[in-house]
Amino acid sequence: MPRALATRVVRQWLGAPPASSATVEAVLAVARGERRAAEVPGGRRVERTGARLHLLDDNTVSPAAAAELLLPGRTRFGAVEVEAWIEHAPPVAWPDGRRCAVTDADRVGDAVTVRAVRGGERFRPLGRGGSKLVHDALVDAGVPAGRRAANPVVSAGPDAAVPTDSAIWVVGYRIDDRVRVTARTRRYLWLSVERPEP
**pLDDT digits over 91-101, tens only?**
999 999 999 99
- Same domain (yes/no): 97, 177: yes
12-20's contacts with Cβ under 8 Å and 24+ in sequence apart are 13/55, 14/40, 14/44, 14/55, 17/41
> Which pLDDT band, with edges at 50, 70 and 90, does 113 fall under?
very high
**Which domain CATH number covers 179?**
3.50.40.10
- Residue 121 in any domain: the answer is yes
- Same domain (yes/no): 18, 101: no
- Residue 61 in any domain: the answer is no
pLDDT tens readout for residues 54-71: 887 755 555 667 899 999
- Same domain (yes/no): 170, 76: yes
- Same domain (yes/no): 37, 113: no
- Same domain (yes/no): 77, 100: yes
Instruction: Judge whether 82 and 192 are in contact, CB under 8 Å.
Output: yes
- Same domain (yes/no): 141, 166: yes
- Same domain (yes/no): 186, 161: yes
Phi, psi of 139 (to 5 degrees): -60, -45
- Residue 135 in any domain: the answer is yes
- Same domain (yes/no): 112, 94: yes
Q: Nearest to residue 169, comparing CAs of 121, 31, 129, 48?
A: 121
**Percent of the chain surpassing pLDDT 90:** 63
- Same domain (yes/no): 47, 143: no
- Residue 133 in any domain: the answer is yes
Domain boundary among 56, 75, 96: 56
- Same domain (yes/no): 37, 106: no
- Same domain (yes/no): 15, 76: no
Coil, strand, or helix at residue 29?
helix
Average pLDDT over residues 75-92: 92
Average pLDDT over residues 107-130: 93
Instruction: Judge whether 120 and 71 are in contact, CB under 8 Å.
Output: no
Q: How many domains does the chain have?
A: 2
- Which of 38-42, 57-61, 101-105, 158-162 shows the lowest per-residue confidence on average (mean pLDDT)? 57-61
Query: Tell me, what's the pLDDT at 198?
Result: 44
Give the helix/strand (H/E) hosting 146.
helix 145-148
Domain span at residue 19 reads 3-56
